[in-house]
Amino acid sequence: MNFLGIGPLELLFIAVIAIIVLGPKGMVKGAREAGKTIRKLVRSPLWRDVVDTSHEIREFPRKIAREAGIEQDLEELRRSTRNTAVELHRTHTPPISPLSSEQKGDTNKEEHENPNGKKV
């Protein structure tokens, strides 16, 4: 679980440092001020412009494909690529079969050979 690229232990460490530096009362006041600032930012017209622009940038490739009339070609290409990947995986992955008793070797023997060829 990561939040803004920060894991739970790092978040706990930051909270402990904030309590030490600000103290319990100062931390509450600081969190309240941070909340007010974030609320002002999110409700500002600048934030709305940033969100709208981000949405337009994400939609731009789809819009171009729609206008050019190649949506069907792209979907067909995706399907064929997906099918090819599945087929390659199936043909290049050897099946796993259980070992027969001959392949396992007889483990009941008292003498075994070590890698140097000596019986142990």
Helices (H), 44-100: 45-68, 71-92
Contacts of 11 by beta carbon, 8 Å cutoff, 6+ apart: 3
Q: Half-sphere exposure of residue 47, counting CA atoms within 13 Å on the CB side?
A: 8
pTM: 0.39
Which one is predicted more confidently, 36 or 66? 36
Q: Which of 28-37, 65-74, 104-113 has the lowest mean pLDDT?
A: 104-113
> Span 20-39, mean pLDDT?
88
Mean per-residue pLDDT, 28-41: 90
Give exposure, 16-45, as e/b (b: 16+ Cβ within 10 Å).
Answer: eeeeeeeeeeeeeeeeeeeeeeeeeeeeee
Tell me the pLDDT of the chain averaged across its residues. 78
Instruction: Tell me what pLDDT residue 52 has.
Output: 92
pLDDT surpassing 70 at residue 105:
no
For 43-99, the pLDDT digits (tens) are: 999 989 988 999 999 999 888 877 777 877 778 888 888 888 778 777 776 666 666
